[in-house]
């Protein structure tokens, strides 16, 4: 296995470019299953483990793909298999994204049930509810979801999501674009990754009104075409890099971003005392002498993202006073806290809220990644810790951050990747 060995205490300075978003690439790649005509060319796709797993998944269904220099080409004309096996789904919950497109194009699909996840229960009931509303008959047996459209074709419907869900909105959208008639999605997720999916589907020939809002109205069409598409930047990666600069007291510029999508994070960074200079396509952060404690509550977009909550917790260990971290998307997403405390942080969890007492001098030791964003949080802590921090099980980080140590080293960090053997 790989670990990152971080020699902390170096200020980050300089410029880096944000990668393409992982979380928008996945539904966009899934959406290629909607059209059997031509070849898609998708630019700015990050070179990540999750993308390669998802590509393997659509290849298993019969798609033909090639990937080089962050451009993925996909042809789905020969897709025949409608069965998504457990071996691929267990690696990545987002595999459920194939359900909507397969059902819409072929009238049926069989997808293995995804398992649990490191930061609490992550049900798929809303995905299934949306498919049922669109006229699918769902059965769950032997660990598989089997979905069949009545009379072979999905029908437009009104779907009101009781909870805002990125995945269920994406799946419902991909199913609705080829359904007969009109579909209304209320309380839909308005995350930039869903907006990107709407733009992609629209370019393919779908009729969608309300892109970028929480009410999406889809008028079904009979066929969609392959297109060329450039993916959006990864707002979580960009936010993580800015937090990395702030925790080390540095000054960095992140290029290739759209500041509007970072608004909630920039607002909190400004509150914490950072100076932010925005320009078209870039953001510069200069750190303050002392970080001001700043509470956050993670909620659906445009509020502060849950995927930045762990990194924010690491940052607040260096602020002068008490900050409170609440996550209203995943109430139990606090696996990183015992590990931060092992580095010397003082964080307590009280009633689904993390209370961080800062500033604390962190000192390097071995810490264990438990999920993607928890890993990023530990890397941030390692950047400011005295001595050497070893972040183990780095495969979590590799699922979602493209060349992270290379990017941080370009900014002045001292991180090496080494192999190690884990004793069980």
The contact set with ligand UD1 (CB under 6 A) reads 23, 26, 94, 122-127, 163, 165-168, 189, 193, 306-307, 329-330
CA-derived radius of gyration, the chain: 22
Query: How many Cβ atoms sit within 10 Å of the Cβ of residue 178?
Result: 24
Any bridge partners for residue 185, and if so which? Answer: 159, 216
Residue 19 CB, nearest distance to ligand UD1 (Å)? 15
Residue located via tokens 């660990």: 143
- Tokens 């607002």 found at: 267
Cα separation, 177 vs 55, in Å, equals: 22
CB of 195 to ligand UD1, least distance (A): 13
Cβ proximity to ligand UD1, 77 vs 395, nearer residue: 395
Respond yes or no: is residue 198 known to be catalytic: no
**For residues 52, 58, 61 and 65, what is the CA-based torsion angle, rounded to 10 degrees?**
-80
CB-based contact 72:66 (threshold 8 Å): yes
Dihedral pair phi/psi, residue 358, rounded to 5°: -125, 175
Count Cβ atoms within 10 A of the Cβ of residue 53 and give its class: 0-12 exposed, 13-18 middle, 19 or more buried.
middle
Give backbone dihedrals phi and psi of 118, rounded to 5 degrees, phi first. Answer: -60, -25
185 is written with which tokens? 């999605």
Closest to ligand UD1 by CB, 11 vs 122, is 122
User: Which of 46/293 has CB closer to ligand UD1?
Assistant: 46
SS3 content of the chain, % helix, strand, coil (to 5): 35, 30, 35
Q: Which residue is nearest to ligand UD1 (CB)?
A: 167
- How far apart CA 23 and CA 359 sit, in angstroms, is 33
DSSP secondary structure of 341-358:
HHTT-EEEEETTEEEEE-
* CA atoms of 359 and 355, how far apart (whole Å): 13
CB of 93 to ligand UD1, least distance (A): 6
Q: How far is the CB of 125 from ligand UD1 (least distance, A)?
A: 5
Query: Closer CB to ligand UD1, residue 107 or residue 167?
Result: 167
- In whole angstroms, the minimum distance from the beta carbon of 103 to ligand UD1 comes to 16
Shorter beta-carbon distance to ligand UD1: residue 249 or 312: 312
What's the min distance (Å) between Cβ of 227 and ligand UD1?
21
Query: Smallest gap, in angstroms, from Cβ of residue 359 to ligand UD1?
Result: 28
Residue closer to ligand UD1 by CB (options 329, 367) is 329
Pairing of strands 415-419, 2-7: antiparallel
Contact present, 100 and 170 (Cβ < 8 Å): yes
- CB closer to ligand UD1 out of 34 and 94: 94
> What is the C-alpha to C-alpha distance for residues 232 and 43, in angstroms, rounded to an integer?
9
**At closest approach, how far in Å is the CB of 222 from ligand UD1?**
28
Task: Specify the residue, 98 or 124, whose C-beta has the smaller distance to ligand UD1.
Answer: 124
Identified catalytic residue from 117, 198, 274, 377: 117
- Could you give the C-alpha distances from 275 to 13, 179, 251, 314, in angstroms and in order? 14, 48, 9, 19
CA distance 252 to 287: 9
Determine the Cα–Cα distance for residues 223 and 220; give it in Å rounded to an integer: 9
User: Which amino acids are annotated catalytic?
Assistant: 117
């Amino acid at each position: 296995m790989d670990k990152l060995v971080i020699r902390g205490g170096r200020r980050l300075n300089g410029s880096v470019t944000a990668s393409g978003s992982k979380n928008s690439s996945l539904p966009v790649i899934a959406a290629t299953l909607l059209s059997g005509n031509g070849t898609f060319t998708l630019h700015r796709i990050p070179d990540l483990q999750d993308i390669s797993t998802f590509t393997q998944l659509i290849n298993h269904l019969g798609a033909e793909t090639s990937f080089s220099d962050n451009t993925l080409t996909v042809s789905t004309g020969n897709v025949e298999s409608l069965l998504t096996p457990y071996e691929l789904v267990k690696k990545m919950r987002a595999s459920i994204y194939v359900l909507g497109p397969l059902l819409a194009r072929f009238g049926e699909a069989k997808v293995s049930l995804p398992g649990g996840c490191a930061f609490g229960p992550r049900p798929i009931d809303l995905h299934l509810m949306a498919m049922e509303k669109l006229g699918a008959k769902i059965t769950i047996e032997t660990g598989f979801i089997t979905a069949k459209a009545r009379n072979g074709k999905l029908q437009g419907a009104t779907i009101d999501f009781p909870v805002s869900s990125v995945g269920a909105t994406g799946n419902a959208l991909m199913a609705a674009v080829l359904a007969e008639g009109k579909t209304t999605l209320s309380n839909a997720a308005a995350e930039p990754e869903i907006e990107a999916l709407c733009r992609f589907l629209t370019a393919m020939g779908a009729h969608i009104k309300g892109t970028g809002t929480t009410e999406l109205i889809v008028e079904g069409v009979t066929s969609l075409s392959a297109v060329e598409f450039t993916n959006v930047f990864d707002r979580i990666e960009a936010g993580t890099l800015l937090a990395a600069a702030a925790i080390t007291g540095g000054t960095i510029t992140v290029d290739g971003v759209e500041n509007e999508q970072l608004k909630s994070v920039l607002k909190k960074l400004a509150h914490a005392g950072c100076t932010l200079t925005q320009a078209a396509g870039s953001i510069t952060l200069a750190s303050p002498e002392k970080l001001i404690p700043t509470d956050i509550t993670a909620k659906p977009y445009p509020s502060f993202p849950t995927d930045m909550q762990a990194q924010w917790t690491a940052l607040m260990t260096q602020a002068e006073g008490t900050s409170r971290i609440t996550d209203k998307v995943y109430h139990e997403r606090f696996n990183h806290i015992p590990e931060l405390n092992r580095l010397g942080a003082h964080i307590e969890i009280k009633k689904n809220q993390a209370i961080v007492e800062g500033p604390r001098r962190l000192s390097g030791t071995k810490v264990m990644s438990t999920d993607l964003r928890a890993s990023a949080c530990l890397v941030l802590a390692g950047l400011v810790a005295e001595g050497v921090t070893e972040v183990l099980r780095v495969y979590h980080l590799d699922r979602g951050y493209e060349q992270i140590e290379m990017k941080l080293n370009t900014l002045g960090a001292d991180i090496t990747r080494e192999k190690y053997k884990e004793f069980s």
